[in-house]
A and B are shown apart, each in its own frame.
Chain A
């Protein structure tokens, strides 16, 4: 082999190496810009541990479908919650909003309790109840200057009380099957419910990344005083964010009620903490201004995959809470870029 040929080959290898390094560098930059590298790493670790631990069963098509299906509703709820958190607030109204919406879904769709059947009108009705609740929470927070913690907690209790009063504590069995296809159906093996959640995630991510609303959202979350001085209508943005959250809780209620085949006020119970956990694990800073729809969605996916994996691994239920706690702290340590935070409270 001549010296010239050797040089050409060396240059070729160097070019390939450089190209490979460029691709890796670009991927790294994309991950850093996207702000989900930690979340994907966490998900990868979860998948690897459970994939190996369950001898591949965790990665079976059936289980992946189950995970996607189970993650969809928490993801939709987390989508609503995370924008309030990005604003620097918190929304504790989830359980009350879902409780009231679920009760109305049960009583208005074809059921065993009464002769009502509003059909597809249930969609605008449920979204309307959720949206109105969010709108009022937003008004209390902005016009009433009540901290979001209290405004939404109060809203949750009010709606919970209404739900119990309206339902009289009874469970209403659904006879309507129009929405059953959404819950149980798949397209190309992917649960329709997961595709709906994915569409909402993409829509919200696009709005957050490419519109004035999104810029204002992060400006307020970063520094509300500065945003106000810059001419941002803070109140309007906050009210919109709370309303969107309520709409999404209402949509989740419709899916939950259909999935469980019946309506009872307590269906709303135990939804708040997983939603906040998903938001935190997804890397949305509770101090506001950091994180987006993709973070919330990944957070919901990680939490769901974790719960599923613990069951598949036959981890003793007495130990599951402890394992969950450890993973929660580890996940937040991995997913939140604490360099961006000015302070840790």
Chain B
């Protein structure tokens, strides 16, 4: 009997120690992103690390590696590991994943912010712990890059282009494509000869561009939905002896495109500031967790919104590279909606 009592006492003490440790543990910051193999996604990680250093909290970086199931499983494991004491920033692998993630977060009572992809008909305010969904506004970004491309033609506003879309069905791709369409409709002298979906992939962009250049050897410009594809297109143009004569535009702001703009191979890009993305997402989630942000009182326009990207062309490429690529800016995160540009429908 005495032995049993001693054992029970020890077990109880152990459990209390563990529980006390758990309660005392600081909130973990966590980001779930697609991969660490892309410069743009690495910006998320850098921004998240910078924010974790500022607030002095531990950070976990989860990657889906383009596998939706892995993404959800890792999020569940992180919630279990931290006992729900976690603030999340998530870039869902696919738009459809957002719903499963929302249900998981809701069940665990974990606040989170999503970026880029979610089904259009899913409303954030139907989930009390889903603080907001934010994206960079792809439409004006593409309007800017397409307009810059048209300026490079021998006769500005008159010419032929080919285009490379990302993965068909991806929300950012759709927005950027709409931006290009708007510029084309405003400039009837510009003809889109052909487009392909290179699925955000540089090698496929290279292959597709080479074939499209055979079919359309007299193009004046190449529009692409992201910088990786732009770099693939530039390589194809180099082999066709057209690099520099036929300009390319991209989107996202990877380091290589800055050099391409400086070298006269690309006309423009748009920097989606991944550092800010991650810092803003984590700051909002942490504030909600600490009771400093009342999610339910936020108007709908602040629950699903877009923020502008940074336009880059030959005129400002050095400045943007210095400010955003070579250094991580210090952001004022006291007003979460300082960069709000428009509500998502």
Q: Which residue of chain A has the shortest Cβ distance to B196 in the bound complex?
A: A317
Q: Nearest-CB distance from B61 to chain A (Å)?
A: 11
Interface 9-residue window, one of B106-114, B202-210, B310-318? B202-210
Q: Which residue of B lies closest to A261 (CB)?
A: B235
Q: Is residue A345 contacting chain B, with contact meaning CB distance below 8 A? A: no
**CB of A236 closer than 8 Å to a CB of B:** no
Q: A60-B214, A169-B42, A184-B239 are in contact. Are A164 and B207 (CB under 8 A)?
A: no
Q: In the complex, A314→B168 CA distance in Å?
A: 17
Query: Of A31-39, A205-213, A226-234, A262-270, which binds chain B?
Result: A262-270
Closest Cβ–Cβ distance, residue A104 to chain B (whole Å): 15
Q: Which residues of A contact B165 (CB under 8 A)?
A: 317
Residues in chain A near residue B234, CB distance under 8 A: 261
Closest B-chain residue to A74, C-beta based?
Answer: B207
Q: With contacts A169-B42, A184-B239, A261-B235 known, is A66 near B210, CB below 8 A? A: yes
Q: Are A270 and B204 in contact (CB under 8 A)?
A: yes
Contact with A along B16-56 (1 / 0, CB 8 A): 00000000000000000001111101100100000000000
Interface: B102 (CB within 8 A): no
For residue A95, give the distance in angstroms from its CB to the closest CB of chain B.
Answer: 11
Which one, B75-83, B252-260, B277-285, B295-303, is touching chain A? B252-260
Cα of A317 to Cα of B153 in the assembled complex, Å: 26
**Interface residues of A, dominant DSSP:** helix
Q: In this assembly, does B215 line the interface, its C-beta being within 8 Å of a C-beta of chain A?
A: yes
Max chain A CB contacts within 10 Å: which of B38, B45, B194?
B38
Stretch at the interface among A41-49, A84-92, A115-123, A304-312: A304-312
B203 to A260, Cβ gap below 8 A?
yes
Cα distance A66–B211 when bound, in Å? Answer: 7
Interface size on A, residues (CB 8 A): 39
Instruction: Find A262's partner among B38, B212, B231 (CB 8 Å cutoff).
Output: B231
Residue contact B37 to A265, C-beta cutoff 8 Å: yes
Bound CA–CA A164/B63 (angstroms): 12
B254 touches A171 (CB 8 A): yes
The complex places the Cα of A167 from the Cα of B42 at a distance, in Å, of 11
Task: Answer whether A317 and B256 are a contact pair too, CB < 8 Å, given A70-B210, A269-B201.
Answer: no
Q: Which of chain A's residues have a CB closer than 8 A to the CB of B199?
A: 270
Contact A266 B35 (CB under 8 A): yes
Give the one of B35, B210, B234 with max A CB within 10 A: B210
Check A260 against B211 for contact (C-beta < 8 Å).
no
- State the majority secondary structure of interface residues on B: helix
B232 within 8 A of A: yes
Q: Which residues of B contact A169 (CB under 8 A)?
A: 35-39, 41-42, 45
Q: Let me know if A163 is at the binding interface, CB within 8 A.
A: yes
Check B197 against A317 for contact (C-beta < 8 Å).
yes
Interface: A318 (CB within 8 A): yes
Q: Is B125 an interface residue (CB 8 A)?
A: no
Known: A184-B239, A260-B231. A308 touches B211 (CB 8 A): yes
- CB pair A311–B206 under 8 Å, yes or no, is no
Question: Which of A69, A70, A259, A318 contacts B168, CB < 8 Å?
Answer: A318
B195 within 8 A of A: yes
Cβ–Cβ < 8 Å partners of A62 in chain B: 214
What residue of chain A has the Cβ atom nearest to residue B215's Cβ? A312
- Say yes or no: A63 contacts B214, CB within 8 Å: yes
Some 17 contacts from A to B, beta carbons below 8 A apart, are: A69-B210, A99-B37, A112-B259, A163-B37, A169-B35, A171-B255, A260-B202, A260-B231, A262-B256, A264-B37, A264-B202, A266-B228, A307-B207, A308-B214, A311-B211, A312-B215, A317-B168
Task: Other than A54-B215, A171-B254, give 20 A-B pairs with Cβ distance below 8 A.
Answer: A57-B214, A66-B210, A66-B211, A66-B214, A69-B210, A163-B37, A169-B36, A183-B239, A261-B234, A261-B238, A266-B35, A266-B37, A266-B38, A266-B202, A267-B202, A270-B201, A270-B204, A307-B211, A308-B214, A311-B196
